[in-house]
Structure 1
Amino acid sequence: MPSPTSRSRRAAWTSLALAGALGLLPAAPAHAAEDGKAPKARTPIQTWGKLHVCGTQLCSRAGKPVQLRGMSTHGTQWYPQCLTGAALDALAYDWKASVLRVSTYAREGGYHADPKKFTELASRLVDMATARGMYVIVDWHTIHPGDPHEDLDNALKFFKAIAERHKGKSNVIYEIANEPHHVPWSTIKRYAERVIPVIRSRDPDSVILVPTRAWATMGFALQSDEKEVVADPVRATNVMYTFHFYAQAGREQFLRVLDRASAKLPVFVTEWGAASWNGRNNDFPMAQKYIDLMAKRKIGWTNWALSDNHKDLSVFKKGACSAGKFAGPGALSPGGVWVRNKVRG
C-alpha cells in the first residue's frame, strides 16, 4: 500500500528459513476426506463450479453472483510452518474459507532466487487447496520495482507453467501482478495484454485479475482514480480489477474509491487488513465498513496474511504455527479472531 515507508513494509518482516519448506507440505488430496476432516456440506467448488465474470460481478456456473472470502498467504518463501495440511484444513473446514491466495514473490528471496522451487511450491499449494474444495488465486507478487515489465519474462514463464499444469481445474484464478506503482495505467494495461494470452492459450476460461496502479488503489494513492480504467479497460474478457486497502490508514477515502469503482467495474479485493500497511493498530470499526460494502456488492476478498509474525496483520499468534494446532480461536491473534469470524460470515 502507498506510503514512503511501504518500500520496506514486507521485506522488513522477519524472514524464515526456506529449508524444508516443501517437506512441511503434506501430500495433498485425499487425506482430508480419508481422516474424517472433510466437511459434510458441499464445498465451494461443488456449490459454485467454474466461475466467470458477469457484468460487474463474479458469478457461479449458474450465473448467480458469488462472494469469495478467504486468506492470502504471506510470501511463500516465509512462514512455511503456516502452510501445512493442518493449516489448510483449519482454513477450509473451521474458518469455512472459499478461497486461498497463494503469493509467489517475484523477488525478495522468492521466484527470482529459485524459479523451479517456487513454481513447484505454488503448484503444490494449488493442489492442496483444491483437495479441500477451495478456489485458489495464484498471485505473482510484484512490489519493487513498480513497473511489472521488469519481471515480465519471469511472469510469462511462471504463468505458462502454472496454467499448463492446472488447466483442467475449475477453481484456479490468476492474479498477474500485485502492486504496480509510479507507472501509468497504460503501462499496466500493456503488461496485462502480454501476460493474459499466455494463460488463455492454456486455460481459456479462467478468471484473470489485473492490478490497478498506485499499489492496487485504482490509482487513488497517486492522485488518480478508477476513471482511467473505466475509460480504457484491458482488451480481454473474464477479467476483474484488483483493489487493496488497509483500513486503519485508508479509512473513508479509500472506502469511497472502492464504492465508486465496484459500481462500474468487476473488482476483487485480493489484499486487505484492519491495521495500517506497516502491520500496526487494528481498526476493526473502520474495517467493518469495508466488510459491509464488500458484502453488499458481493466483492470477493482475501485478507493479509496467513502468517504468525508479531505484526497485527498476522492472523496467528507469534509462533503458533510451529505448534501445529490451527482450528478455533486459541491459536489466533486478536486480528485473527476477528478475521476468522468475517470469513465464516
Structure 2
Amino acid sequence: MVEPGPTTPTSPATPTDPATPTNPTNPTPAPVASPVATNGKLQVVGNQIQNQNGVAVQLKGMSLFWSQWGGAFYNASVVNSLADNWKVTVVRAAMGVEEGGYLTNPAAEKARVKTVVDAAIAKGIYVIIDWHDHNATQHTAQAKAFFTEMAQLYKNTPNVIFEIFNEPDYESWNEVRAYAVEIIGAIRGVGAPNLVVVGTPTWSQGVDAAASNPITQYPNVAYTLHFYAGTHGQWLRDRADAALSKGIALFVTEFGTCDASGNGNLKLDETGRWIDFMNSRKLSWANWSLHDKPETASALVPGASTTGNWPDSALTPSGAFIKQKLLQ
C-alpha cells in the first residue's frame, strides 16, 4: 500500500553483476538441501500452497523496494546475504511500472528483475516477479507482453512466482478478475505452470471479493493479502479467515510493521500477532521492504550497504524485528 514518496537517498543503479543466463529448456538444478530442492514446484490445492510432496509450504522473506528507486539493491550479493544470513526462502522483486519504471525504461527494469531472479535460482530460493502497479488494468497490453516473456524464460523453473498485479486501488474485483484472466491466459499459453498471485481490491485487502468469485479458468492461482500493522488489525485477519474458509489460497506478498503510508506508528506487537496468524495458517509472507529509505517500513538505515552482509547497526527497529522472526 506504500506509495513511493520522494526519491530515496540511494540512487538507482543498473545491476553491475551479470546474471547467469537462464536456459528455459534445461534450468540449473537447485542446490542440494535448498528450499527449492526440498519443496520443488508449488501448487495451489484448496486453500493451501503445497510443495511437490503435497505438503503445505510457507515461504518467508523480504520484498525489495520499487525497482526504479531501489535498483541499487537489485543484485546477487543482496540476494545471497538474505538467503545466508536472514534465512529467507523467498525474495520479491518489486518492479515499478509507472513513475519512471517499466513503462519508461523497460530494458533497465527487466534487467534488474532478471538479476534478482537468476540470483535466487542460483541460491535455491523462491522469487516473486511483481508487476508493482496500482493501475495495471490500464496497462494490460504491456503486462501481457512482459509476463509472456517472463513465462517463456522461467516456465521450467519452480523458483519463480508471478505476481501479476501488486495492489489494485479503486478497481472493482470484476475489473481485476478480467485483467487477471487475460494475463494468466498468456502465462499458461506458453506452457508455464508457475504459481500466479493475483492482487485484490482496495490495496489487496479485498480478499473477500476474490473468495466470492474466484478465478476458475486456470489452476495454481493464489490471491494477495497485504497489511500494515499500524493500520490493519483483527478485522482484516477475520476477513482473511473468511476467505480461506471459502477455499481460496492467500499469499501475503507485502506487509509492513507500521502505518500503511510506510512511515510512523511502528507496531511490533501487532506485527507479532499478524506473524503468528500467518504462521498458524501457513500463509507465505514477504516484508516491505529491504531498502534504506528513511521511513519506518525500511529494514535498513539510510546509507546501509547496497551489497548485503549488514551488521546489526545497519538495521532499523523494523529490520531487526523481522530478521529475528525469519531466524526463528
Secondary structure in structure 2 of the residue aligned to 1:244? strand
Matched residue type, 1:237: P
Question: Match of 2:24?
Answer: none
Question: Match of 2:258?
Answer: 275
In structure 2, C-alpha distance between the alignment counterparts of 1:247 and 1:43, rounded to whole Å:
31
Kindly state the Cα deviation for residue 27 of structure 1 after the two structures are TM-superposed: 3.3
Residue of 1, 5, 9 corresponding to 1:11: 5
Query: Structure 1 residue 83 and structure 2 residue 74: aligned?
Result: yes
Matched residue type, 1:141: H
Matched residue type, 1:21: T
Secondary structure in structure 2 of the residue aligned to 1:113? coil
Query: Structure 1 residue 290 and structure 2 residue 274: aligned?
Result: yes
8 Å contact from structure 1 (residues 325, 331) kept in 2: no
Secondary structure in structure 1 of the residue aligned to 2:295? coil
What do residues 11-57 of structure 1 show as CA deviations (whole Å, max 9, x unaligned)?
33527433x4222xx23469xxxxxxxxx971100110111111111
Query: Structure 1 residue 209 and structure 2 residue 209: aligned?
Result: no
Kindly state the Cα deviation for residue 132 of structure 1 after the two structures are TM-superposed: 1.1
8 Å contact from structure 2 (residues 10, 303) kept in 1: no
Question: Match of 2:298?
Answer: 314
Report matched runs for 1:3-82 at 5 Å: 9-12=3-6, 14=8, 16-18=10-12, 20-23=13-16, 26-28=17-19, 42-82=33-73
Question: Match of 2:228?
Answer: 246
8 Å contact from structure 2 (residues 86, 326) kept in 1: yes
Report matched runs for 1:77-226 at 5 Å: 77-143=68-134, 145=135, 148-218=136-206, 226=208
Q: Once superposed, what is the RMSD of the aligned Cα atoms?
A: 1.9
Structure 1 length normalisation: TM-score? 0.86
Name the CA shift for 1:122/1:84 in 2 (closer, same or farther; >3 Å). Answer: closer
Kindly state the Cα deviation for residue 122 of structure 1 after the two structures are TM-superposed: 1.1
Secondary structure in structure 2 of the residue aligned to 1:77? helix
In structure 2, C-alpha distance between the alignment counterparts of 1:150 and 1:16, rounded to whole Å:
29
Structure 2 length normalisation: TM-score? 0.91
What do residues 284-305 of structure 1 show as CA deviations (whole Å, max 9, x unaligned)?
1101111001000000011101
8 Å contact from structure 1 (residues 262, 297) kept in 2: no
8 Å contact from structure 1 (residues 106, 151) kept in 2: no
In structure 1, C-alpha distance between the alignment counterparts of 2:32 and 2:310, rounded to whole Å:
18
In structure 2, C-alpha distance between the alignment counterparts of 1:41 and 1:332, rounded to whole Å:
30
Matched residue type, 1:232: N
5+ residue gaps in structure 2? Answer: 22-30
Secondary structure in structure 2 of the residue aligned to 1:153? helix
Secondary structure in structure 2 of the residue aligned to 1:165? helix
In structure 2, C-alpha distance between the alignment counterparts of 1:71 and 1:325, rounded to whole Å:
13
Name the CA shift for 1:203/1:102 in 2 (closer, same or farther; >3 Å). Answer: farther
8 Å contact from structure 1 (residues 56, 266) kept in 2: yes
In structure 2, C-alpha distance between the alignment counterparts of 1:276 and 1:103, rounded to whole Å:
20
Name the CA shift for 1:302/1:325 in 2 (closer, same or farther; >3 Å). Answer: closer
Question: Match of 1:34?
Answer: none
What do residues 212-246 of structure 1 show as CA deviations (whole Å, max 9, x unaligned)?
11110016xxxxxx0x3223111221100001000
Q: Identity over aligned residues, as a percent?
A: 32
Name the CA shift for 1:204/1:21 in 2 (closer, same or farther; >3 Å). Answer: closer
**Length, aligned pairs only:** 316
Matched residue type, 2:204: A
Residue of 211, 218, 226 corresponding to 1:230: 211
In structure 2, C-alpha distance between the alignment counterparts of 1:285 and 1:13, rounded to whole Å:
30
In structure 2, C-alpha distance between the alignment counterparts of 1:263 and 1:71, rounded to whole Å:
27
Matched residue type, 2:73: C
Q: Which is helix-richer, 1 or 2?
A: 1
5+ residue gaps in structure 1? Answer: 31-39, 220-225
Kindly state the Cα deviation for residue 330 of structure 1 after the two structures are TM-superposed: 3.2
Matched residue type, 2:153: R
Question: Match of 1:223?
Answer: none
What do residues 271-323 of structure 1 show as CA deviations (whole Å, max 9, x unaligned)?
1011112222210110111100100000001110110111111111111125x
Question: Match of 1:33?
Answer: none
